[in-house]
Amino acid sequence: MIKIKQTNQPKNFFYNWLNYKETEKYNSKYSECLKEYFLYFNNKCVFCESPLLDMNLMVGYYRPVEGALNIINGEFSQQHYHWLNKEWSNTLILCFECNRAKSNRFPLIGEFCSEYANDYELNKEKRLLINPSRDYPEKHFLYNKEGVIIPKTKKGEVTINVLNLNRYSLIKGRKKEFSNFNNLCKYFMDKKYDVELLEEIIEQIKPEAPFAGIKRYFLLKMINNDLIPYLQEFTPYLGNLNGRKYLLENYEYNNMEEKNEIFFAQEQYYNRVKINNTYNVRDEQDLQKYFSRQRYIESVEINNFKGLKDIKIDFNLSQSKDAPWLVLLGENGVGKSSILQAISIGLMGEEKRKEIIKNRASDYVNNQQNKGFIKINLTGMIDPIQIEFSKYSHNFSGNNHIEPKVLILSYGSTRLLPNEVRSDNFKPSWARVENLFNPFQSLIDAESYLTWLHKEDFEKVKNAIENIFLEKVEIIKIETTKEIKFKFADSIVKLNDLSDGYKTIIALATDIMMVMKNRWRNYDAEGIVLIDELDSHLHPRWNIEIVKRLRTAFPKIQFIATTHNPLTLRGLLKNEIAVMLEDDSRKTIIQDLPEQKGMKVEEILTSKYFGLYDTLPELNNIFQEYYSLLANPYPTIDQQKRINELEGYLADYNKIGLTKRDQLFYKAIDIYLAKEKEQNRQLNFDTFTQDIKNIIKSLRRLF
């Protein structure tokens, strides 16, 4: 992170951006102004320094404008800082990942300022989140050669934690940039101050250079240790705060002392992080630790769990500015539900595991193996949650697994509504996962719960439910009769008179809000929700809208779901879909998939997502056999005869071309696709051309 140099502000962009926000109409003028704005902030995220080419960047806010959470004392203020929504100085450029991690967190020592505070009053807030436009980040950070950013101050530490600045992708990027820069500097000294190499060094420490912070930091170290002389050309980038005078005053210690400083600072920081990670989401005393940073699943590794032998899933690929989603596709029996169960077992905590699994941990070991494990990496945690199980033990063991770290809800494919028995016993719950393991465990009695809530909480829950409906609706609570009614444009309907699909969605949303409100208010609720067969009970129109509706109602909740319905994929972003495949009893996950946005339903069905060759069942079966035979480079006489028969069937549907030219083309493509599927590989355009040439060459004898 580096200081943003204040230059002429591109206010033309700002006014266009405000207009775009209000009208939601994209135009070329806005696009051009956006480029100008990105340039003002050096074409990279102001916090993590990820460049525009590597990450999706967006316009965001320094102070959140839709409610603020002070993670130091757990105070949430719904009214802060809405009056800064149209304030130029409150905007900045950040990547989706930093925006997602920051969310509405705004750490302070003390209280929030008064509503509608001016600049003078805002400046009196004792903020703990670094603002690169006002602060000097260089005062607050150290770096090591592995790319890890280490805090020097409390403000630096809080900033690292809130923004998750030591996520794997950033450490990897900083390490690579430093390594290249370090080699460049050594080469520069070997060449006795070559002018071209000096120019390259300057390029690498300019504000627009990726990860300039770590390179400037180590350049200062090299200068201090007399490895590189301080040159006048460095002054624009190392001047002021980091000028020669600053060097002499602040870096007068030897190389060994420098290494010790970094080592001890890193060791102390890691110890504090580990202490902060030893919290219990149920414990009121641990709220500061829980709120200190966002807690999403970053990766999961599952070994020998039921039918799953070795599965790894990366949850960091989503490009959502809010909570990431992942939807799993795959045939019945491939193990999608088992993945949801494994994640639930890992996150629910020991007390809930004993309640649900009882003494049956050995039941989850793969039949062909003796032991297995589940490993879950959560955002910002150094050590993963690890669950171990063995066929020789009835209990789970592991590391970092006793106390629940997140709020979690898990639902199976059968989500039954409650019976007629009403209950007012709504105990605080941190993990509602029973339905995923027991299909007869019903959802919450939504009407009883909604009428039980006091007014403030009822308003929050009702707003979330109203956001999920396809049409405009108002939820009304009748205090005298303890009833819930739904006011539509042309009617008022009792909850019990709604369709089962409506009631199921209402119960699901109410269930989620019941758990979330134990730690969160409304819009800011963070947690993890797992849903098996998300499309179950839903009308096609609702299937198309369900992801979008849930995202609107619960923007900060991470959803992991399964589905068989292509309509349900609408609303998902790039890299939010994964396909499970089974090949020779080996189950794998494919996440590198084309973006489904803009695809027609038939195109989705015949793409990598669902793997159909055709939407007609008889043609799909023919193609399946045809590709299986084509994958063999040396078919027998009988196999070749069968290939010819199948081509005859396909010709009846005009699937292999009419002219010799078309037939040669289709044949070549079919052979390529057959081999691609048989080897379970992705389409590689680098080898595609040569492969097709070789196939056509071998087919010439047929024509």
In angstroms, the CA 661 to CA 580 distance is: 37
pLDDT score, position 612:
47
Instruction: Name, in order, each residue with C-beta under 8 angstroms of 270's C-beta and a sequence gap of 6 or more.
Output: 382
Reported as type and span, the H/E element at residue 648 is helix 637-652
In angstroms, the CA 256 to CA 258 distance is: 5
pLDDT score, position 114:
94
Segments in the chain below pLDDT 70: 8-14, 16-31, 54-55, 240-259, 420-425, 522-523, 584-585, 594-618, 620, 653-703
Angle made by CA atoms 362, 363, 369, in degrees to the nearest 5: 70
Structural domains in the chain plus CATH codes: 295-590 (3.40.50.300), 613-702 (no CATH)
DSSP 8-state code for residue 209: S
Structural contact between residues 245 and 251, judged by C-beta atoms closer than 8 angstroms: no
Reported as type and span, the H/E element at residue 123 is helix 119-123
pLDDT score, position 93:
92
**Which regions of 462-520 does DSSP assign to beta strands (E)?**
474-478, 483-487, 492-494
Quick one: tokens of 262?
Answer: 């970094």
In angstroms, the CA 17 to CA 313 distance is: 37
pLDDT score, position 248:
44
Reported as type and span, the H/E element at residue 660 is helix 660-678
Give residue 24's region: left, alpha or beta (phi > 0; psi -120 to 50).
left
pLDDT in tens, 613-627: 555 566 767 777 777
Quickly count: other Cβ atoms within 10 Å of residue 78's Cβ. Answer: 12
In angstroms, the CA 536 to CA 532 distance is: 9
For 75, counting Cβ atoms within 10 Å of its Cβ (0-12 exposed, 13-18 middle, 19+ buried), the class is: middle
3-state secondary structure of 665: helix
Q: What's the 3-state SS for 383-442? A: CCEEEEEECCCCCCEEECCCCCCCCEEEECCCCCCCCCCCCCCCCCCCEECHHHHCCCCC
Are β-strands 297-305 and 371-378 bridged in parallel, bridged antiparallel, or unpaired? antiparallel
Quick one: tokens of 419?
Answer: 């019976």
Radius of gyration over alpha carbons of the chain, in Å? 29
CA distances in angstroms from 174 to 192, 203, 205, 211, 702, listed in the order given: 27, 16, 13, 6, 56
* DSSP code per residue over 580-630: EEEETTEEEEE------TT--HHHHHTSTTT--S-SSHHHHHHHHHHHHHH
CA distances in angstroms from 127 to 61, 97, 113, 123, 681, listed in the order given: 15, 22, 11, 9, 51
pLDDT score, position 166:
94
Structural contact between residues 125 and 112, judged by C-beta atoms closer than 8 angstroms: yes
Q: What angle, rounded to 10 degrees, do the helices at 685-699 and 660-678 form?
A: 130
Structural contact between residues 600 and 568, judged by C-beta atoms closer than 8 angstroms: no
In angstroms, the CA 486 to CA 509 distance is: 15
Amino acid occupying residue 85: N
pLDDT score, position 686:
56
Reported as type and span, the H/E element at residue 15 is helix 11-23
Q: Look up tokens 């630790």; give the residue.
A: 289
Reported as type and span, the H/E element at residue 553 is helix 540-553
DSSP 8-state code for residue 265: H
In angstroms, the CA 149 to CA 165 distance is: 7
Instruction: Name, in order, each residue with C-beta under 8 angstroms of 617's C-beta and a sequence gap of 6 or more.
Output: none
Q: What are phi and psi of 388, to 5 degrees?
A: -120, 145
